[in-house]
Amino acid sequence: MNSFGNDARFTGSIPELYESHLVPLLFEPCAADLANRVAGRHPSRVLEAAAGTGVVTRAMAHALPIHVDLVATDLNQPMLDRAAAIGTSRPVKWQQADATRLPFDDASFDIVVCQFGVMFFPDKARAFSEARRVLRHGGVLLFNVWDRIEENEFANTVTAALAGLFPADPPLFLVRTPYGYFDPEVISRDLADAGFSATPRFETIAARSRAASARVPAVGFCQGTPLRSEIEARSGGDVGDATSACAAAIVERFGTGPVDAKIQAHVVIAQR
């Protein structure tokens, strides 16, 4: 069952659970890293693509001087609504936008930044081309992607548990999309196809992902991402039962009480 067309649909209760469970678990440490990289380049205007519920936006709002113009976009209005409701430490322009058809003028930003979003773009070269178009000469596209799922232990454990629960038709959202775009050669080719002539830089960063209990990552992945729709689409696919099975698998691997697992990502820097 290939449902890539639904992989970018963060609707219903997903934005709230994504923010409450996955942002602290996975995204906050990486957001601080990206925000510091952006601030170190002293931009005057920054565009964020696939801002989600705003974890990187909040980090950049804190790290960047008040005079820097910060525009945060996402395809999913419910995610932007959640981000705006949380708020930022200074004004940010929130705008719904498709990364493959950006509604901005040519050469209008110093940096385009995206945290764990490019994996969801159905046409990555086109999205990269749009980022290049809106970048000023010498500007930078700065983004990160998860490394292969085997290097990300909670996600890998959840995927294996669901394969055991649905052996005839395992839900593969995590492997296919968030953890499916990790090969530097593929990414470099897509950037070159988009017109980035300079060789991109890749930095691999590893960190620890911690939660108070095994249920936190189980709920986050099973109910706070489009994986939920894949589970529910299967015969006998009760999301509560699936969540419990994943929590049990995490307990078996990482123990009871607080859990701690490896996460790993690539940071990519492409200069215009």
Cα 34 off chain centre by: 12
Domain boundaries, the chain: 4-271
CATH class of domain segment(s) 4-271: alpha beta
List, in sequence order, the alpha helices (H) in the chain.
14-17, 28-39, 55-63, 77-86, 124-134, 153-165, 173-176, 184-193, 215-223, 227-232, 239-254
- pLDDT for position 177: 96
Q: Tens of pLDDT along the chain (272 residues)?
A: 334 456 555 656 678 888 888 988 999 989 999 999 999 999 999 999 999 999 999 999 999 999 999 999 999 999 999 999 999 999 999 999 999 999 999 999 999 999 999 999 999 999 999 999 999 999 999 999 999 999 999 999 999 999 999 999 999 999 999 999 999 999 999 999 999 999 999 999 999 999 999 999 999 999 999 999 999 999 888 999 999 999 999 999 999 999 999 999 999 999 99
- pLDDT for position 1: 34
- pLDDT for position 4: 43
- pLDDT for position 7: 52
Rounded to a whole number, what is the distance in angstroms from the first to the last CA of the chain?
A: 38
Calpha distance 31→53 (Å, rounded): 12
- pLDDT for position 12: 66
User: DSSP code of 22?
Assistant: I
Supply 186's token pair.
């593929």
Calpha distance 238→243 (Å, rounded): 9
